[in-house]
C-alpha cells in the first residue's frame, strides 16, 4: 500500500486509476474553511511517477474529477470564481481547460475516451440541461428523446458511442444510445417488445458495444423510487429486425413511446450534484467545528 499524500490539506480522495498506474482524485489544499463552501479549498489532482500534481481550478475553491483516460487526461467539474457556477473541465496534460456550457450556467464533464472525446451534461439558456459531446474543441448538443426536456451522458467508449438517460429533468424516463453522428436513440426501441424491463438509464458501454444500466419491470409500484430497479446487460446481436427498425424510425421522427403499464419512473439523478456528493464525503471525514456532520451513506 502506498500513501499518495495530499495537496497540503488534511485529506485526499483517490477516485480513478488508468492502465498506466496514474491516479486521479481530489484533495484539500489547506485546512482553512472558505466562506463560500464551508470547507477548505479542494482541487483535483493527478498522481504520476510518484508525485501528486495539483491540477488547479477554474477560479473557484472546489473542483473534482469525474473520469480519466489512459493518456492521463482528466475531466470533471470546477467552480468558477465566487463558487456559484460550476463548469466542465479538461486537464489536457498541460493546463486546465474550461469546456463551457450550452448557453446556461453549469455543466459537468462526466466521461472521456482515449481519443479525448468528452461527454457529459451542460445547461441550456433556460437552465434545462442536455447531454453533450466535446470533440476537437467544440461542444455538440446531443439533444434529448422526443417529449423530454433534459438529457445526460454517462459514458463514452473508444468507438465514440455514448449512453445515458433522457428525462423530464426530475425523473429518468428512457435510456439512450448515441452513435455515428445520428440522432439519439431510445434503447427500448432496440430490444424486443416483450422485454421484461423498461430501460430507464444506461450507465456504461464498453468497446464491444455492451451496455449496462438500470430498468424497471412492468407493474412496478415501489414504496420508494429505488425499490424496483433492476440491473440489465445489453449484448449486441446483429442488425435490428423490421420491428426494431420501425420503432427506431418512429422514435427519430418524433413519436413519443408509451411507458409500459405500471412501470414507475425512476430518479434522474441524486438530489446532490457530484460536487456536492464529494463535498459531503470529505466533510464526513473532516468535521468542521460548528457544522453538522454529513450522514453516512
C-alpha cell at 291: 457544522
SS3 17: strand
> 38-77 pLDDT, tens per residue?
999 999 999 999 999 999 999 999 999 999 999 999 999 9
C-alpha cell at 63: 473542483
Residue 189 to residue 206: CA distance in whole angstroms: 20
**How much is the average pLDDT of 261-280?**
49
**12-285: CATH class:** mainly beta
Residue 234 to residue 208: CA distance in whole angstroms: 11
> 185-241 pLDDT, tens per residue?
999 999 998 999 999 999 999 999 999 999 999 877 655 556 789 999 999 987 666
> 1-48 pLDDT, tens per residue?
999 999 999 999 999 999 999 999 999 999 999 999 999 999 999 999
pTM, rounded to two decimals: 0.84
pLDDT confidence of residue 278: 52
pLDDT confidence of residue 254: 56
- Kindly list the distances between the CA atom of residue 294 and the CA atoms of 189, 277, 282, in Å, as whole numbers in the listed order: 41, 10, 9
Closest to 166 measured CA to CA, from 179, 178, 182, 181: 178
Question: Using the 8-state DSSP alphabet, how is residue 19 labeled?
Answer: T
C-alpha cell at 169: 429533468
Backbone angles phi, psi at 243, to 5 degrees: -65, -45
Name the strand (E) or helix (H) holding 285.
helix 274-285
Amino acid at each position: 500500500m502506498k500513501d499518495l499524500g495530499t495537496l497540503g490539506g488534511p485529506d485526499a480522495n483517490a477516485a480513478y486509476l488508468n492502465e498506466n498506474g496514474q491516479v486521479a482524485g481530489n484533495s484539500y489544499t489547506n485546512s482553512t474553511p472558505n466562506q463560500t463552501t464551508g470547507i477548505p479549498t479542494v482541487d483535483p489532482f493527478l498522481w504520476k511517477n510518484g508525485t501528486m500534481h495539483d491540477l488547479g481550478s477554474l477560479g473557484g475553491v472546489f473542483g473534482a474529477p469525474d473520469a480519466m483516460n489512459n493518456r492521463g487526461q482528466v475531466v470533471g467539474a470546477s467552480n468558477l470564481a465566487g463558487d456559484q457556477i460550476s463548469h466542465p473541465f479538461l486537464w489536457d496534460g498541460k493546463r486546465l481547460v474550461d469546456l463551457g456550457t450550452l448557453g446556461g450556467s453549469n455543466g459537468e464533464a462526466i466521461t472521456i475516451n482515449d481519443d479525448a472525446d468528452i461527454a457529459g451534461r451542460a445547461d441550456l439558456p433556460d437552465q434545462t440541461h442536455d447531454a453533450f459531446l466535446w470533440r476537437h474543441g467544440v461542444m455538440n448538443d446531443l439533444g434529448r428523446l422526443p417529449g423530454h426536456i433534459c438529457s445526460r451522458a454517462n459514458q463514452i467508449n473508444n468507438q465514440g458511442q455514448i449512453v445515458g438517460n433522457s428525462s423530464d429533468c426530475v425523473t429518468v424516463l428512457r435510456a439512450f444510445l448515441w452513435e455515428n453522428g445520428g440522432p439519439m436513440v431510445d434503447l427500448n426501441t432496440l430490444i424486443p417488445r416483450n422485454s421484461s424491463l423498461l430501460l430507464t438509464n444506461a450507465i456504461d458501454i464498453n468497446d464491444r458495444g455492451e451496455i449496462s444500466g438500470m430498468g424497471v419491470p412492468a407493474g412496478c409500484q415501489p414504496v420508494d423510487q429505488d425499490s424496483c430497479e433492476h440491473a440489465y446487460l445489453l449484448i449486441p446481436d446483429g442488425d435490428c429486425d423490421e420491428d426494431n427498425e420501425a420503432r427506431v424510425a418512429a422514435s427519430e421522427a418524433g413519436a413519443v413511446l408509451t411507458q409500459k403499464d405500471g412501470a414507475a419512473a425512476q430518479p434522474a439523478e441524486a438530489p446532490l450534484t457530484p460536487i456536492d456528493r464529494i463535498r459531503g464525503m470529505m466533510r464526513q471525514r473532516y468535521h468542521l467545528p460548528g457544522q453538522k456532520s454529513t450522514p453516512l451513506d
